[in-house]
Amino acid sequence: MAEERRPKQCTVVLPTESMKAMAESIGVGQLQEESCAALSEEVSYRIKEIAQDALKFMHHGKRCKLTTSDIDHALKLKNVEPLYGFQSQEFIPFRFASGGGRELHFYEEKEVDLSDIINTPLPRVPLDVSLKAHWLSIEGVQPAIPENPPPAPKEQQKTESTEPLKAVKPGQEEEGSIQKGQGATSAEAKGKKDGLMRMKPRSTHELSVEQQLYYKEITEACVGSCEAKRAEALQSIATDPGLYQMLPRFSTFISEGVRVNVVQNNLALLIYLMRMVKALMDNPTLYLEKYLHELIPAVVTCIVSKQLCLRPDVDNHWALRDFAARLMAQSCKTFSTTTNNIQSRITKTFTKVYNKCWLDDKTQWTTRYGCIAGLSELGPDVIKTLILPRLTVEGARIKAVSDGPVVSNIDKIGADHVQSLLLKHCASVIAKARPLPDNVEQYRADYGYLGPMLCSHVVKARAQAALQAQQVNRTTLTITQPRPTLTVPSSLTLMSTRPGTPTQLSPPATKYIVMATSSGSSSTQQVLWMASICKISRTLKLSSSAVANSAVDMMKLALMRTATGKGDPELPLLQRISSLELPASEIAAQINA
Amino acid sequence: MAAVQDGQLNLEVEKDIKTEITNDGSGNINANSSSPGSTSSGGKSKSPAGSGEDQQTLLAVLQFLKRNKLTESVDILRREAGLSADADDSPVSESAGAGSGGVPSVGADGGDANSLLSRVSIATPVAPPDCGLDSHGGLATPIYFHSSNNCACTVVAASGGEDQPDVNVVLSAYSQQGDPVLYPLYYNGLKKFIESVLDCHRAELSQVFYPLFVHMYLELVYNNHENEAKQFFEKFSGDQECYYEEDLRILSSMSKKEHMKGNETMLDFRTSKFVLRISRDSYQLLKRHLQERQNNQIWNIIQEHLYIDIFDGMPRSKSQIDAMSGSLAGEGKRDANKAKVFYGLLKEPEIEVPLDDEDEEAENEEGKPKKKKPKKDSMGSKSKKQDPNAPQQTRIPLPELKDSDKLDKIMNMKEATKKIRLGPDNLPSICFYSFLNAYQGLTAVDFTDDSSLIAGGFADSTVRVWSVTPKKLRRVKSAADLSNIDKESDDVLERIMDEKTASESKILYGHSGPVYGISFSPDRNYLLSSSEDGTVRLWSLQTFTCLVGYKGHNYPVWDTQFSPYGYYFISGGHDRVARLWATDHYQPLRMFAGHLADITCTLFHPNSNYVATGSADRTIRLWDVLTGNCVRILTGHKGPIHSLAFSPNGKFMASGATDGRVLLWDAFDDVELDDFTAATGHIHLPENSQELLLGTYMTKSTPVIHLHFTRRNLLLAAGAYNP
């Protein structure tokens, strides 16, 4: 690997065009090719040298990231006046443009309106340095406290669950070897030796006494009667980094709990269990993938089950369905991959159930509600393709319940809920998809019974969206200025800039803005030059932006001083350049001529 | 057979020169002064004009000294060179050695020393001109510069800023004209030869590749064969050991003669001979081959730029060589590591343990004397037994113990009795101090020995001190308030403190650059900090103000440390010179020159008689505080060394470097053995060093910057949290 890189190292030199561009940018035209070549080699060498020194400061600053201050210090070492005023930004976007047979990288400098800066409220004062102590280890054992990293990082949990053969923890390994020494049969030992037969290590899920106590406390609190305790327990599940050993128990607890309580129609307990699922999903240190097969059925049950409570007419089981549907959507988002395909499988499940109740009028409204809720939480695309086409039929069915002969109260409540659910979810989707104007008749024609209501909802949604957009605009206006780099503006405007239309670009920012290819080639080359700096810095393992930042102006300074001639011997940089035995006087003469 | 004799002769001459110089006491110069290629022995490469040139250089130096009114040094130099007084009156231009090419080597130790010193002077252009004998000899501390050291200092001072002629002298050694096209052939020929020799010699001879490669490349570059140099580099750079990659990168960027001037790496290569250790058999094999082939180009380079340390005995194996190689200038010479090191601890002063101990107080009257006696005896026997390896108590003057120090010592002993024995089955507890909101600006941390204070150095040039005990930090009252205090009262020490200023942390402002090194004095009254601005500052922890700014380093000072007995401290930085200071002198007492790259870390030996410095040239050097000599050069690391630690008994040293390895050194004892592996061998942790690893404790997102064992063997760690 190193060998591959080495030849490159000697060859990375700034292109001579960049030298010309530099010279032009400070008003020196017609630099001879030879001088350019000499300059570019020299400058590349000096930049490398400075970068190397800057690295030293980075190491002693105990950082892994080179900053502009490191380069300032390195310049100071060389007796060069540092370039003050550059700040290290996390990210300096080099924009790319091509056209007219050229490929360019450039760095866009935005114009900053001073009044904006003045008017923006001051940022908060950064907090002062403070000292905090914690136990990293107690007699060789790392306590599982929030200050310490989780005992098993997510990655390890993942490898353990996916590749149990590879991920053998030291403890287990030991256990294995002991086993081998003690009781392994000779055949087994042989097999191990040969490496032909590899035993899957037995993973133990024994919990320590403390963990057992914790598990007991937590589960009791979660399903107990004290709400304050429950909140605490859920908080603990959501944040504690050391839960992964208990995860199988929790997941079994939840799935069994749901199974039992659905049969018993115990709404409260179901809600508690769903909240536990939520808390588990919120915990960033847990690798839940392994337990989805238990959790997802439980959640789906809570969405589409016919009956979740003893008195369906009074209890608010709808809220549970909504909550579970949101959970489902969240888990789809987090865990869906190309291999497990959770999202599409869930969608299919819901659609299947939904199809069944679509065809069958006798299906419970509760199940129907659950399906629609589950589907609509999965996003606007799903709503558009799966729910909108069925609005008419659904509307007719709701109409039949509400207008028709007196049916059971339960059905009526169910129909009401389905209606409001449909209106809620479909309105926002239609508002986005459907062009104006919102005509009631048109809606009725398209969506049947629900049409007029939908129409009014859509109008409302549109108004709200407009209002929100306004607010967003206002807030962004106040905060955009101080951090111009965070948003990468689309380079479309630039791509379309054709040769011969330089007037479109703002003149003050000439430095880095691409000019027409025909007239001003200077900036083009400068950009090329910058790109090559990037290359150098990459070989030196530096953060390119910082180098480029300083190097550009250093270059300019150097050229400027060379250009002004030898008259100013106090300038250290000039001395440097002349000491390179570059024909500085020659360059100067040419410049003057 | 001729070859054998020649080799022996070389060796003898070297030894002569060396002993001479070692007697002078100028160990730093010693490291670079003699070589097989110097005037007297390197018969083949010597051009007829050689000796005349040497004299001219010497004269130039003399004249220079004279002009700067450094008559003392002139005398010394003249005496050593055996020149007559009128010789230097002839007008010799400064750059005597500069223009004339064709001179392969400057030769005599005067010249070489000069070039070395000029290297130093490049790094320290503005050393005060009078940092010589007089300013130190008469002062309260009877530490003196040895005469030749003194001379070195003055030359440094005088020639500051005017390094040009010397650089030219250095460079002109490369102006040998050979056919540039043949270089790859020569190199390839040697490569083939070495690949074909017996296995036992191959590893040893392979050491030649890297220095040879570098010097051939530099020669090509110097003679303006840019393209050939590039090709040569591309062809053979891949063959070099991977740990030289960093140097090769620097080398590769140097493609023009103009670049060579002022390039530090290049100068290092030229001024310091690359040291190789090769067994006699292997060396003769190489020599015979080169002579048979009439391969003068390579032979010349070996003669001039390499120092081949020949030993009798079995050739070394690849792993043995790998354990020692990796430094910028090859291995340390055997002679450089021969001096005796008194690594034992100094005798502890006898202190009466007072009887106010709680458990003793609980005891009845009769129990007391009984209890007291054995305790005292055990202590007495411990301290009376003089360690045979310990230096004399008065080898270097140490500060007198104050009452407060004695109290502290007593505390220390009490704590030590409560010390937990650690072992594989009994791992320490670790308390981690996280610096929050440091914004990646924490650069150095230190704990006091009693773990009551923590200091942090920051990139924003501040130094902050925290108290980690309930006792808050208080400032001494102002002078006006102090005069009102009743000085006879018992609690006068309490009274002088200003309660209003009590706080958990204090900020010390004064530096003008990032603070890279920080160290508490053992008595907790002072704090040292070293910074990018080139100064070391001494802060009082009574008044929380800066007391002294020690100026001397002109470049960033990477590290500083107090002596375990206080009073002295050491600093080292980018200028490659470590300086030993005493707190009451504004100028350094010793300057340890010899490292070829930045000094990155400095450390006092527990007995305060020695100082260890780790450097970016991938060597560790041990310096004698008394004489200023370098007594050990430890090679083996493959990356810049960034931390050092002595074992409490002073016998071992551990070092950590950016190559990701920790080496444990047992290098201060049994040096009389000529077996080099024992002489400077570190205990090389085998591949299965995982077995030695007792535990790994992850932090969340906090790089660990400092570690410290408390007196009770609790491990403290510190670092800045980077969210």
> What's the pLDDT band for B615 if we cut at 50, 70, 90?
very high
Beta carbons of B658 and A59 less than 8 Å apart: yes
Residue A334 CA, chain-centre distance (Å), reads 12
User: Higher model confidence: residue B640 or residue B666?
Assistant: B640
- Residue B573 has φ and ψ, to the nearest 5°, of -160, -155
Least confident of A427-431, B43-47, B73-77, B493-497: B43-47
The 3 state secondary structure assigned to B181-233 is: CHHHHHHHHHHHHHHHCCHHHHHHHHCCHHHHHHHHHHHHHHCCCHHHHHHHH
* Residue with token string 């060859």: A11
**Alpha carbon of B404: minimum distance to chain A alpha carbons (Å):** 29
pLDDT digits over A386-436, tens only? 888 878 877 887 887 777 666 677 777 888 888 888 888 888 888 777 777
Task: Report the residue of chain B nearest A128, measured CA to CA.
Answer: B437
Question: Which member of A7, A77, A137 has the closest CB to residue B555?
Answer: A77
Q: How far is A239 from chain B (nearest CA, A)?
A: 15
Residue with token string 């060789």: A140
Residues of B in contact with A7 (CB under 8 A): 234, 237
List B residues 678-707 in contact with A (Cβ-Cβ < 8 A). Answer: 694-695, 697-700, 703, 705
Whether pLDDT at B442 is above 80: yes
Q: Which of the four pLDDT bands, split at 50, 70 and 90, describes residue B169?
A: low
Who wins on pLDDT, B143 or B202? B202
Work out whether strand B653-657 and strand B641-646 pair parallel, antiparallel, or are unpaired: antiparallel
* pLDDT tier at B678, thresholds 50, 70, 90: very low
A42 with B459: Cβ contact below 8 A = no
Q: Are B104 and B176 in contact (CB under 8 A)?
A: yes
Phi then psi for B514, rounded to 5 degrees? -50, 140
* Model pLDDT, residue A63: 85
Contact assignment for B237 to A138 by CB distance below 8 Å: no
CA distance A21 to A25: 6
Indicate whether B157 pLDDT > 60. Answer: no
B621-640: average pLDDT: 88
Rounded to whole angstroms, what are the CA distances from B491 to B407, B487, B525?
16, 9, 19
User: Is the CB of B421 inside 8 Å of chain A's CB atoms?
Assistant: no
Q: Are A285 and A241 in contact (CB under 8 A)?
A: yes
Q: Give exposure, A18-34, as e/b (b: 16+ Cβ within 10 Å).
A: bbbbbbbbeebeebeee
Q: Give the pLDDT score at B140.
A: 32
- Cβ distance A547 to A536 under 8 Å? yes
Q: Which residues contact A131 (CB under 8 A, 6 or more apart)?
A: B433, B434, B435, B436, B454, B466, B468, B505
> Is the CB of residue A286 less than 8 Å from the CB of residue A250?
no
For residue B508, name the pLDDT band (cuts at 50, 70, 90).
very high
CB burial of residue A472 (10 Å; 0-12, 13-18, 19+): exposed
> Which residue type sits at B267?
L
Q: Residue B566 in contact with residue B399, Cβ under 8 Å?
A: yes
Predicted confidence (pLDDT) at residue B282 exceeds the cutoff of 80: yes
Q: Is the pLDDT of residue B26 over 80?
A: no
A10 closest CB neighbour out of B252, B262, B695: B252
B50 has pLDDT over 50: no
CA distance B465 to chain A (A): 10
* Tens-digit pLDDT profile for residues B510-546: 999 999 999 999 888 999 999 999 999 999 998 899 9
Does an H or E element contain B8, and which? helix B2-24
CA distance readout (Å), B368 to A328, A577, B358, B371, B520? 76, 81, 12, 5, 37
Residue B48 vs residue B509, higher pLDDT: B509
Higher pLDDT, A309 or B150: A309
Query: Quick one: pLDDT at residue B397?
Result: 87
Phi, psi of A140 (to 5 degrees): 90, -5
| pLDDT: which is higher, A369 or B667 | A369
Terminal Cα distance for chain A, rounded: 49
Is residue B1 scored above 60 in pLDDT? no
Which chain A residues are closer than 8 Å to B433 by Cβ? 131-133
Three-state secondary-structure class, residue B24: helix
Tell which of A9, A60, A73, A124 to mutate to test the B interface (max B CBs under 10 Å). Answer: A60
Torsion angle defined by CA atoms of residues A338, A343, A348 and A349, in that order, rounded to the nearest 10 degrees: 120
CA-to-CA distance for A445 and A435, rounded, in angstroms?
16
pLDDT for residue B372: 40
Looking at chain B, the whole-number percentage of residues with pLDDT higher than 70 is 65
Instruction: Please state, in angstroms and rounded to a whole number, the distance separating the CA atoms of residues A476 and B432.
Output: 41
| 8 A C-beta contact, residue B671 and residue B338 | yes
Determine contact, residues B467/B505, Cβ cutoff 8 Å. yes
pLDDT score for B79: 65
Does the structure's ipTM exceed the value 0.95?
Answer: no
What confidence tens digit (pLDDT) does each residue in B294-303 have?
667 778 788 7
**Neighbour tally for B619: CB within 10 Å:** 26
Q: State the count of interchain CB pairs (< 8 A) between A and B.
A: 150
**Nearest to residue A330, comparing CAs of A345, A342, A318, A312?**
A342
Mean pLDDT of chain B: 71
**Rounded Cα distance, A581 and B98, in Å:** 16
Residue, of B453 and B132, whose pLDDT is higher: B453
Candidates A225, A321, A227, A222; CA nearest to A280 is A222
Q: Closest CB to A581: pick one of B258, B697, B705.
A: B258
Place of tokens 């773990």: B451
Find tokens 């003793």 and name the residue.
B360
Amino acid at the residue B705: I
Please, which residues have CB within 8 angstroms of residue A451's CB and are 6 or more apart in sequence? A395, A440, A443, A444, A445
Closest CA to A355 of A343, A346, A363: A363
For residue B77, what pLDDT is reported?
64
Determine the length of chain B: 723
* pLDDT value of position A203: 54
The encoded tokens of residue A359 equal 């065809």
Q: State residue B602's pLDDT score.
A: 94
CB contact under 8 A, B695 and A581: no
More confident call, B135 vs B558: B558
CB A356 within 8 A of CB A308: no
Pick B238's closest partner by Cβ from A6, A10, A138: A6
Tokens coding B596: 């070829």
Q: State the DSSP string of A435-456.
A: PSP--HHHHHHHHGGGHHHHHH
Reported as a pLDDT band with limits 50, 70 and 90, residue B13 is very low
Bridge partners (DSSP) of residue A106 are: A95
Phi, psi of B505 (to 5 degrees): -145, 155
**Given this model, what pLDDT does residue A554 score?**
55
Check residues A161 and B20 and name the one with the higher pLDDT. Answer: A161
Q: Can you say how many angstroms the Cα of residue A242 is from the centroid of all Cα atoms in its chain?
A: 25
User: What's the alpha-carbon Rg for chain B, to the nearest Å?
Assistant: 28
Closest-CA distance of chain A to residue B467, Å: 10
CB contact under 8 A, A3 and B439: no
pLDDT > 50? residue B288? yes
- Quote the pLDDT of residue B489: 77
Name the residue among B124, B95, B119, B127 with its Cα closest to residue B29.
B119
What would the pLDDT profile of B381-435 be if each residue is shown by its tens digit?
A: 444 556 777 888 788 888 888 877 888 888 888 888 888 888 878 888 999 999 9
Report the alpha-carbon distance of residue B167 to residue B152 in Å, rounded: 18
pLDDT recorded at residue B49: 41
Output DSSP code: residue B666.
-
Nearest-CA neighbor of A39 among A562, A589, A566? A562
Q: For residue A198, give every residue at least 6 positions away whose Cβ sits within 8 Å of its Cβ, in sequence order, or none.
A: A165, A192
Q: What are the backbone angles phi and psi of residue B602, rounded to the nearest 5°?
A: -130, 150
* pLDDT in the model for residue A101: 61
C-beta neighbour count of A452 within 10 angstroms: 14
Predicted local confidence at residue B588, as pLDDT: 93
- Using the beta-carbon criterion (under 8 Å), do A49 and B253 form an inter-chain contact? yes
Numbers of helices and strands, H then E, in chain B = 24, 27
Please give the sequence-ordered ranges of beta strands (E in DSSP) within B427-534, or none if there are none: 430-436, 442-447, 453-458, 463-467, 473-476, 497-503, 505-508, 515-520, 526-531
Mean pLDDT over residues B67-86, rounded?
60
Positions in chain A whose pLDDT score sits under 70 = 1-11, 85-93, 99-104, 152-205, 357-363, 404-407, 469-593
Hey, is the C-beta of B514 within 8 angstroms of any chain A C-beta?
Answer: yes
